[in-house]
């Protein structure tokens, strides 16, 4: 649950994230977010005049969590190849969390992408950012943009499969496939 010591904006974002991720964006009303965050309706709407602004703030926070998680996993690797493979280790840990419900960006895009260009753009920007990160590591490891696209696709597919099946094994399968792709692309 949301910590009452945090500032109201942070509490609202945390409460909305938990509710949207668990129940869905459209199934969650603003009054539910208000109650979970422990703020008044006036304060909620002062921070977020509409639900779309709140969804975008939640996605921005999710993007930060994703980047910190990937960077944290990569920090333990000794080279670019290891940092690439750490992506799948991070996914395995994430998939094993009881709260895992798939990629929040894919979920938001599925719910609102057709009706909210801003949400669609946020999802696209997040995916492009991940692709850029993977491309940097793939280049550093001796690969190219094609390898990066393949490795990112493995990660994306693993997220979707794990969410639907409710298992962690897609991360392991994706990691093994990534090892093969890296070896073939780089000769190492």
pLDDT at 1 over 60: no
- Of 39, 150, 23, nearest to 84 by C-alpha is 150
pTM: 0.92
Q: Model confidence over 68-123: pLDDT tens digits?
A: 999 999 999 999 999 999 999 999 999 999 999 999 999 999 999 999 999 999 99
Portion of the chain with pLDDT greater than 70, in percent: 97
pLDDT at 5 over 70: no
What's the confidence (pLDDT) of residue 188? 81
Domains of the chain: 1-49 (1.10.10.60), 55-186 (1.10.357.10)
List Cβ neighbours of 132 (8 Å cut-off, separation of 6 or more): none
């Amino acid at each position: 649950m949301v910590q009452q010591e945090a500032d109201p904006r942070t509490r609202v974002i945390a409460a909305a994230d938990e509710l949207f991720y668990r129940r869905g964006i459209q199934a969650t009303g603003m009054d539910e977010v208000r109650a979970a965050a422990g703020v008044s309706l006036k304060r909620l709407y002062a921070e977020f005049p509409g639900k779309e602004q709140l969804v975008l703030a939640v996605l921005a926070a999710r993007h930060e969590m994703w980047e910190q998680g990937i960077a944290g996993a990569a920090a333990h690797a000794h080279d670019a190849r290891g940092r690439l493979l750490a992506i799948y280790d991070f996914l395995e840990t994430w998939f094993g969390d009881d709260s895992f419900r798939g990629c929040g960006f894919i979920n938001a895009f599925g719910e609102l992408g057709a009706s909210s260009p801003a949400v669609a753009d946020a999802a696209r920007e997040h995916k492009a950012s991940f692709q850029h990160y993977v491309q940097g590591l793939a280049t550093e490891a001796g690969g190219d943009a094609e390898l990066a696209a393949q490795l990112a696709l493995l990660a994306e597919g693993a997220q979707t499969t794990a969410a639907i099946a409710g298992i962690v094994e897609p991360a392991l399968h994706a990691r093994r496939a990534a090892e093969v792709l890296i070896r073939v692309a780089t000769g190492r």
